[in-house]
Copies of this chain bind each other. A is one copy, B any other.
């Protein structure tokens, strides 16, 4: 609970309509796409960098914990006040400040919705590739905080690869700038990329300079059905070995295919064990040629069905199965836990097989979606979080799965972040010393530990 005097002070910075303490106003900030139980003490909505700075000066002086929040779509519990304190929401800082065509970059406030930016720059012939599944809702501030990726990462990389510079308000309210409108920069430590993916623990991003690239002129979508995951892995290897880097290589395993078929979402052959959705982009001639090559690779490696979209509508239809997965799953199960891990791409068949074995062992239903070109997989656990006995088995399954991921040389998060859900597994991935280094960095930026203070990156 904030003292009255402090409430007045904060209200004077952001105005009457920018500060809330009533429970009914706070309720919609008590959850994100991962957790739903942390009621903040207050919510504040700054309109400018100066206001953010003013708020942080008060917060620093008074030791008020601050969690920055975009659209709350993250899957790691990073947008809630898990230790109480104040949520800082960026809905009123949602301007595209500038699209600088000559320097091929956009300057945006943190509250800008990812897809809005994509559409704006597209009008001018540019492309902003990072495409998290929530792109229609999620914001650039959240994308930067979690280093968001998406299906296009295999060709285009993730948010980190597009952030050229940041304006950041530090824990004590001081404003710094990192990077700028230049791609090349080796002056000092790379603070820009240290801040990207730092889960709100090092500073509050109030502006980002984002790199834009030329918009590909054409794209081609294919869907191939295989009778084993191994065949998919071999096909992906063949595609990449031929020098083709598709913009998307999305894999769905047998469990997912069966769920989609069961709810009448799409029809796949009965022996379908893996579906690969492939998209190439570039100029007209090359996508045509690459599309044909890929279709041939699929058939040579045993695909039982290969479809190539001839029109935009056909492409949409091919995407439909992939996009319908979450909806289909919720029709067959009360709860869905979406996990996130990365293995070296060669280990994808191994980890999918292992997940199958573990799910049998613990008697739980798990399907796998994967960005097959970069080894990033999302095991979808279909369960009922109210069933304690089952959840105990789920817990064991998850731990053993992540142990296997690490044993295969992988990492525990490809694009969702660590947040609340995964902090207990961090000792699998990081040595004590590595954690100490990270926590040392956190302390340099935030000595009073007021920025997202529940994070595993904080000293405990």
Whether A13 is near chain B, meaning CB under 8 Å from some CB there, is no
- From A56-64, A296-304, A309-317, A410-418, give the one contacting chain B: A410-418
Q: Check if B426 sits within 8 Å of A153, measured CB to CB.
A: no
Interface residues of A in 337-352 (CB under 8 A from B): 342-346
Query: With a CB–CB cut-off of 8 A, which chain B residues contact A149?
Result: 184, 186
Answer whether residue A9 sits at the interface, using C-beta atoms and an 8 A cutoff. Answer: no
CA distance A180 to B149 in the complex (A): 18
Give the chain B neighbours of A125 by CB distance below 8 A: 241, 243
Q: Chain B residues with Cβ under 8 A from A185's Cβ?
A: 342, 411, 413-414
Q: Does A328 contact B (CB under 8 A)?
A: no
Indicate if the CB atoms of B437 and A186 lie closer than 8 Å: no
Q: Mark A415-443, 1 if CB is under 8 A from B, else 0.
A: 11110000000100111011101101101
Q: Is A256 an interface residue (CB 8 A)?
A: no
Whether the pair A184, B158 counts as a contact (CB closer than 8 A) is yes
Output the residue of A283, A344, A410, A457 with the most chain B CB within 10 A: A344
Name which of A79-87, A110-118, A189-197, A266-274 contacts chain B: A189-197
* Residues 231-267 of A contacting B (Cβ, < 8 Å): 237, 240-245
Is A336 in the interface zone, CB < 8 Å from B? no
Q: Chain B residues near A196: list those with CB within 8 A.
A: 190
| Of B100, B186, B198, B346, the contact of A417 (CB 8 Å cutoff) | B186
A346 touches B160 (CB 8 A): no
| Interface of chain A residues 145 through 197 with chain B (CB within 8 A) | 146-147, 149, 153, 157-158, 160-161, 170, 174, 176, 178-191, 193-194, 196-197
Instruction: Let me know if A186 and B430 touch, CB within 8 A.
Output: no
* A46 in contact (CB, < 8 A): no
Most buried by B among A102, A413, A416: A102
Q: Are B217 and A438 closer than 8 Å at their CB atoms?
A: no
Which residues on B sit within 8 Å (CB–CB) of A190?
147, 160, 193-194, 196-197
Establish whether residues B285 and A410, one from each chain, have CB atoms under 8 Å apart when the complex forms. no
Query: Is A380 located at the chain interface by the 8 A CB criterion?
Result: no
Q: Is the CB of B184 within 8 A of A415?
A: yes
A343 interface neighbour in B101, B182, B283, Cβ under 8 Å: B182
Partner of A409, one of B161, B180, B412: B180
A213 at the interface (CB under 8 A from B): yes
Residues of B within 8 A of A215 (CB): 243
Instruction: State the Cβ distance, A228 to closest chain B Cβ, in Å.
Output: 17
B194 touches A194 (CB 8 A): yes
Judged by a CB distance under 8 angstroms, whether A103 is at the interface is yes
How far is B285's CA from A413's CA once the two chains are assembled, in angstroms?
39
**How many Å lie between the Cα of A161 and that of B425 in the bound state?**
28
Of B157, B241, B412, the residue contacting A187 (CB under 8 A) is B412
In the complex with contacts A170-B433, A286-B285, A193-B191 CB distance below 8 A: no
A20 in the interface (beta carbon within 8 A): no
A375 in contact (CB, < 8 A):
yes
**Alpha-carbon distance between A174 and B176 when the two chains are bound, in angstroms:** 33
Distance between Cα atoms of A375 and B160 in the complex (Å): 21
B180 with A344: CB separation less than 8 A: yes
Per-position 1/0 for A330-366, Cβ under 8 A of B: 0000000000001111100000000000000000000
A182 close to B411 (CB less than 8 A): yes
A104 at the interface (CB under 8 A from B): yes
Kindly state the separation between the CA atoms of A176 and B431 in the bound complex, as whole angstroms.
8
Q: Mark A188-212, 1 if CB is under 8 A from B, else 0.
A: 1111011011100000000000000
- Determine if B182 and A375 form an interchain contact, defined as CB atoms under 8 angstroms apart: yes
Q: Does A214 contact B (CB under 8 A)?
A: yes
Contacts of A243 in B (CB 8 A): 125, 214-217, 283
Residue pairs across A and B with Cβ atoms less than 8 A apart, 15 shown, are A174-B433, A182-B375, A182-B410, A183-B374, A184-B375, A185-B414, A186-B414, A188-B429, A188-B430, A188-B434, A188-B435, A193-B193, A214-B240, A285-B286, A440-B445
Interface residues of A (CB under 8 A from B): 100-104, 125, 146-147, 149, 153, 157-158, 160-161, 170, 174, 176, 178-191, 193-194, 196-198, 213-217, 237, 240-245, 283, 285-286, 342-346, 371, 374-376, 409-418, 426, 429-431, 433-435, 437-438, 440-441, 443-445, 456-457
**10 closest A-B pairs (Cβ-Cβ)?**
A440-B444, A214-B243, A102-B346, A184-B414, A181-B344, A182-B342, A193-B193, A103-B344, A185-B411, A147-B186
